[in-house]
Every structure is written in structure tokens, then in C-alpha cells.
Amino acid sequence: MATLCKPAVSVPQYVITMEDTLALARSLHADHPQLPLALRLIQNTGVAKRHIVQPIEDTLRHPGFEDRNMLYEAEAKARVPEVIERALDHAELRPADIDMIVYVSCTGFMMPSLTAWLINTMGFPGHTRQLPIAQLGCAAGGAAINRAHDFCRSYPGANVLIVACEFCSLCYQPTDLGVGSLLSNGLFGDAVAAAVVRGEGGTGIALERNGSHLVPDTTDWIAYSVRATGFHFLLDKRVPTTMEPLAPALRTIADQHGWDATGLDFYIIHAGGPRILDDLSHFLEVPPEAFRFSRGTLTEYGNIASAVVLDAVRRLFDEGGVADGSRGIIAGFGPGITAEMALGRWTTTGASLDTAMTGGQVVGRLERDSEPSPVGEPVR
């Protein structure tokens, strides 16, 4: 069975605290008629601090979309390789062992995707599959896990590298003055995360089932307006109410697997904000403590978009994991409104329930080229 191994996570060196955010809002928007509401909403996020890729003085300036996107590419190339190396170490694999790279990001644009640059510079085989995902927003972390799981089911024994690179601060728009935009300015942070889904072996979450769910008629609740100045984030005030229709989706996927979603051993939930976690705790009928990994991410890093679920998984590992066979759920939420969900059991051996039920039959590894593909020179 495909096993999600320990993720590696890195955050930039520049820090902005809750106090900094509130002070900036007061100074930049002193005449805003809804400033008291915005300040209250920012305080209620519980985000103690966030990390950003450049000093706040530079973040507040907008040099134009072209310069912003050039910085996104430069920062991605500078920060992603080290995180990948740690994720590979956690999985006890080398670049040559990877069969597909899933790269998720919604805060910058590159074509070719960063996956091509990684293959050229880090020693991944030339036949490595590339799957960039750019338009699922915060749900993309869950989608990456699910697409990796699907690939490993199609090619038993294959290994998939997941990379989430989110520099939300590069999407700051000084002219966006709606309350939703002001709240977003105090909620989102920057981070890079990577993890390997091993087709065989490994310690972590042995993935057993995945699924998606879209809440009808909510496509404009979380969205980008793409303008000359770049990505303008649109956040509808109804977004926090989405846990009421999404909690049944989590119950359904668990029911389909013969599990009770209210009685699992661990929960990895996208920390879009405290209201999301509070409402899901209520509608799913699980104690707030069950979402401690997600709350830890939100408090220390803010909403780091697609990297949230990987950081929450990392926190599960850092706590010491759980007993072998413990059952859990992973859920990422994002534009659509979309939920990407996965079920799995904790394993220290990579052993699978599916393998046991099929008499231990193991299908051959994804075929590799007989001759190694040449690796290009590093892109400078």
C-alpha cells in the first residue's frame, strides 16, 4: 500500500507577528470605515506569527506582476531543493527512486513547471512523470496526496514526490481594501513542504481510500481575479459556513470504508481559519483537541495554503506518531468549494490491509527505461 512518509517543511526567515499585523492595519488603513471589524477578525484568527519571503517593507511595495512572479521563481528555486532532500531522507529514497513529481502552488506561475527544473537539477530520471496543480488553492495539498495514491495504485511499487510551494505574501495587493482582503493580509503565510508517497515500505500513513466533494454553487466564494497587477484574492464571507455541508462528505467517505468519522485516531484537517476547525469539530462531533496539529500550523505559520496538510502531518510525526493500525483522515479544503479527502492507517512497516486481503500478492514495479536518461546541466 502507498504510504505517506514524514514531510519536510521550511518557512522563510522573515517574521511578522500578530502585533505587527494589527499595527500595520491601523497605520495603513486608519480611515477605513470597517477597520474595527477587520482588526477583530484578524485577532480572532489566532495566528501568532507568519513567515514571509522578503522583509515586510518590500512586501508592502508592489513593483508589478512581472517582478513579483520573477521573485516567486527565484525563491522557489532557492528554497525547494533543500526541502526535497530532507523529504527523500525521511522516506529513505534517492531522486532516482522517484517515478512522479506532483507540484502544487497557487501563488506564482511557471511554464515549464518547476518540476522540469527539478528533474534537470536534482538527478531525477528523465522519464519522471510531472503533475503540476495550480488552481485548487488550499485543497491542492490534499489533492496531491490523492493523486500520488492513485498513481501508486496504478503502478504498485512506484514512488511519488509531492512538493507544495506557497508564497502567499507575493499576492499582497495594496489596493484591495475589502474586509475579506484585509483579513487575508493577516491570515496567510509562506512555506515550502515536501513529502514522499512510497509504493512499498516506509513509516507513516498507509493510504487506503480517497475522494473529492464539491459544494454546489460556491465557485465564486474563493477565487482569484487575474488582473494586470497579478492575482487578487476573493474571499466571500460565507466561506466559514462551509463545514456544515462538508462534514457529511467526511462522514460519507468514512462510512464507505466501514469507519466512523467521529471515532478516528487522528485528524489532519486544512486550517483555513479557526472557524473552519471549530465548526468541523462541532458538525463532525469530535473534540477540538483532535485538530491540534492543524491548530499548531495555524498558530505558528498562519494559513500556508496547500502546504497546511503536509505540515500537520509533520506535526503528527513529531508528536511520535500513533500506534500501528490507528485510523485517520486527511482533508484539504479550497476553491470550488472543494474537499479532497483521504483515509489511512498508521504503519511502521508500510504493510497494507489491501495486500493482506489479496494474499500478499505484489505487482511488479513501474517499468523503467533500460538506459538511464541524461541529466541536464543546472539552470542558472
Instruction: Supply the residues annotated as catalytic.
Output: 138
Q: Is 205 exposed, middle or buried (0-12, 13-18, 19+ CB in 10 A)?
A: buried
Q: Would you say 108 and 164 are in contact if contact means Cβ atoms under 8 Å apart?
A: no
CA 309/CA 293 separation, integer angstroms: 9
Compute and round to an integer the Cα radius of gyration of the chain: 20
Residue with cell 495594496: 174
Which ranges in the chain belong to alpha helices (H)?
Answer: 18-28, 35-44, 56-60, 65-91, 114-122, 140-154, 179-185, 243-256, 274-284, 292-301, 308-318, 353-357
Q: What is the largest CA-CA distance in the chain?
A: 70
340 contacts 332 by C-beta, under 8 angstroms = yes
Q: Is 254 helix (H, G, I), strand (E, B) or coil?
A: helix
Give the angle subtended at the CA of 278 by the CAs of 303 and 311, to the nearest 5°. 35
